[in-house]
Amino acid sequence: MGHPKKPRKKYEKPKRPYDKDRIAKEKKLMNEFGLRRKREIWKAESILRDFRKRARDLQGKRDEEKEKELINRLYRLGLVTKSASLDDVLELKLEDILSRRLQSIVFNKKIANSPKHARQLIVHGHILINERKVRWPSFLVPTELENKIRLSPKIKNQLIAGEKE
């Protein structure tokens, strides 16, 4: 299991650190989603790799119950439809995971002007989900909570007062 004082990495570094194509792709993703570090991309890749590995294992075993659990979890995260199959899970892309991050959703809902502004609002504690502060831009937002994302009333009043001046 491992010792609680020695947590494991949640990502893997690329095997070829100076691969030109990978670096260009990561740079594009960083700009598009407002990420600060490539480590965030690697963590998302790791999450995607785990989902796809579970789907491949389940395809071989044909365990209906675990298959439903996996698809249900991905459905709650908004990554697949309710009637999805394991093939749909295997077709998931990195952009699908990155688009379900709180930072991306705050920007897409037009609460923030840019992905970096969304990140700043989240880190400073101005974004509430279900009336609770969430300070992690990497939080994967379930579809049921997506409608409950809003700007803190305190900062909203400051923004309105700033616009009047």
Other C-beta atoms closer than 10 Å to the C-beta of 107 total 21
Take residue 129 and report the two structure tokens written for it.
Answer: 């989900």
Looking at the predicted structure, is the pLDDT value of residue 76 above 90?
yes
133, containing H or E segment: strand 132-133
CA distance 108 to 98: 12
- Give the amino acid at 20: K
* Residue 164: predicted pLDDT: 62
* Residue 161: predicted pLDDT: 66
Main-chain phi, psi angles of 24, to 5 degrees = -65, -40
Q: Which domains does the chain have, with CATH numbers?
A: 10-99 (no CATH), 101-165 (3.10.290.10)
Residues 73-79 have a mean pLDDT of 95
Summarize pLDDT for 30-58 with one digit per residue, the tens: 999 999 999 999 999 999 999 999 999 99
Length of the chain counted residue by residue: 165
Exposed, middle or buried: residue 31 (CB in 10 Å: 0-12, 13-18, 19+)?
Answer: exposed
pLDDT bracket for residue 110 (50, 70, 90): very high
User: Mean pLDDT across the chain, nearest whole number?
Assistant: 92
DSSP 80: S
Looking at the predicted structure, is the pLDDT value of residue 154 above 80?
yes
* Residue 81: predicted pLDDT: 93
| pTM as predicted | 0.88
Other C-beta atoms closer than 10 Å to the C-beta of 97 total 21
% of the chain with per-residue pLDDT over 90:
82
- Give the amino acid at 14: P
More reliable by pLDDT, 15 or 159 = 15
Summarize pLDDT for 22-32 with one digit per residue, the tens: 999 999 999 99
* Residue 158: predicted pLDDT: 75
Looking at the predicted structure, is the pLDDT value of residue 157 above 80?
no
* Residue 7: predicted pLDDT: 86
Place of tokens 């991050």: 101
Place of tokens 């459905």: 75
* Residue 97: predicted pLDDT: 96
Take residue 156 and report the two structure tokens written for it.
Answer: 């909203």
Main-chain phi, psi angles of 97, to 5 degrees = -70, -45
